[in-house]
């Protein structure tokens, strides 16, 4: 058996067995469904200039407070007669980019901290983790509000604030996975075949981090959307007259008694978006769980 009989295998072309994204979508319906939802949201954000029936900023006092399903204004108009549907579609262009920049800030900041902390261990780990603990001690929104209060209101600072809130989550996650990976023999095995520490981290550790990170990114994107809306609702995020969902709820809240759709419509937009991202994260977590993989 050890003198391998000459199976002329190596002459045959080497073909990869397909895996990856398509396989994942085919095998897991919840992943596919939530993936489609998120894709639609992105499409809306990209295409809102073409899709919007009206200019989201165009004021027309003659047609204010029109209820939903009015011809020409499917979702109605607000107190200044601006078309709600157009404002909702344009609002996606604010919320989604903010969420993604915030998640990117959290991912890179937290990921770097977690990687260094987990790989180096010892005193470095101890100090970095206490820093993370300190951040983690604040409730997320309070911390975000405090950061914006310090930096000043505005979308850019809202992104930074929400990103900072996400940092400890990623730091903890990445550190935990790195510690787990360090126990595996392939780490020493890879070094024993002459790989440099940098190669080990970049080519061997980081690819192993991708699954948990993908799941966490979709989950924290949901949180970031909500946090952005909250900050804007409080007047700390998007500034007038930018059409923003949180800010629309804020101005709609004054008319809750007579014209409740002014607040309900943007609220629904936020709910659907957050739900889509959470569903994606949740289903991905189930689909990518190695214990459930055959």
Partner 1 sequence: MAFAHLLEVDDIHSHLAVKDGTVRAVDGVSFKVDAGETLGIVGESGSGKSMTALSIMRLLPRSGSIVQGKVTFKGRVLTELSEDEMEAIRGTEIAMIFQDPMTSLNPVYRTGWQVGEPLRIHRHVDTRTSIRAAADLFQKVGIPDASKRVTQFPHMFSGGMRQRAMIAMGLSTSPSLLIADEPTTALDVTIQAQILELLRTLNRDYGTATILITHNLGVVAGMCDRVIVMYAGRVVEQGRTEDVFARPEHPYTWSLLRSIPRLDADEHEPLKPIDGSPPDMVRLPAGCKFTPRCPFAIPRCAAEEPELLTVRDQLSRCWVTQAGATLDGDQGG
| Residues at the contact surface with partner 1, assessed by CB under 8 A | 1-4, 6-7, 9-17, 121-122, 183-186, 188-196, 199, 204, 207-208, 210, 290, 293
Ordered alpha helix ranges (H), the chain: 20-27, 29-51, 84-120, 122-137, 140-151, 155-182, 185-192, 197-199, 206-233, 245-253, 261-288
Q: How far is the CB of 179 from partner 1 (least distance, A)?
A: 13
Q: How far is the CB of 129 from partner 1 (least distance, A)?
A: 17
Nearer to partner 1, 14 or 137 (CB): 14
Q: How far is the CB of 9 from partner 1 (least distance, A)?
A: 4
Nearer to partner 1, 122 or 152 (CB): 122
Q: How far is the CB of 1 from partner 1 (least distance, A)?
A: 5
Q: How far is the CB of 24 from partner 1 (least distance, A)?
A: 14
d(CA 84, CA 78): 7
Exposure b/e, 176-197, CB count within 10 A at least 16 = b: ebbeebeeeeebeebeeeebee
Nearer to partner 1, 156 or 199 (CB): 199
d(CA 228, CA 172): 23
Nearer to partner 1, 70 or 192 (CB): 192
Nearer to partner 1, 13 or 61 (CB): 13
């Amino acid at each position: 058996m050890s003198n391998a009989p000459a199976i002329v295998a190596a002459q045959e072309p080497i073909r990869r067995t397909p895996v990856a994204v398509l396989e994942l979508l085919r095998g897991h319906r919840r992943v596919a469904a939530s993936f489609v939802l998120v894709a639609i949201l992105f499409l809306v954000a990209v295409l809102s200039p073409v899709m919007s029936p009206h200019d989201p900023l165009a004021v027309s006092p003659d047609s204010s407070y029109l209820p939903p399903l009015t011809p020409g204004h499917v979702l109605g108009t607000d107190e200044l007669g601006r078309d709600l549907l157009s404002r909702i579609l344009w609002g996606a262009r604010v919320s989604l980019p903010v969420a993604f920049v915030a998640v990117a800030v959290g991912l890179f900041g937290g990921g770097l901290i977690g990687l260094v902390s987990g790989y180096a261990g010892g005193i470095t780990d101890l100090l970095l983790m206490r820093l993370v603990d300190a951040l983690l001690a604040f409730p997320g929104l309070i911390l975000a509000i405090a950061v914006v209060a310090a930096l000043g209101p505005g979308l850019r600072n809202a992104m930074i604030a929400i990103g900072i809130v996400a940092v400890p989550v990623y730091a903890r996650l990445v550190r935990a996975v790195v510690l787990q990976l360090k126990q595996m023999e392939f780490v020493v095995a890879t070094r024993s075949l002459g790989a440099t520490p940098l190669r080990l981290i970049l080519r061997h550790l980081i690819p192993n981090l991708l699954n948990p990170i993908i799941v966490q990114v979709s989950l924290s994107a949901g949180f970031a959307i909500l946090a952005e809306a909250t900050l804007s609702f409080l007047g700390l995020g998007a500034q007038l007259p930018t059409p923003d969902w949180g800010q629309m709820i804020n101005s709609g809240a004054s008319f809750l008694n007579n014209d409740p759709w002014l607040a309900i419509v943007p609220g629904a937009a936020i709910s659907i978006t957050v739900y889509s991202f959470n569903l994606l994260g949740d289903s991905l977590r189930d689909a990518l769980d190695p214990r459930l993989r055959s």
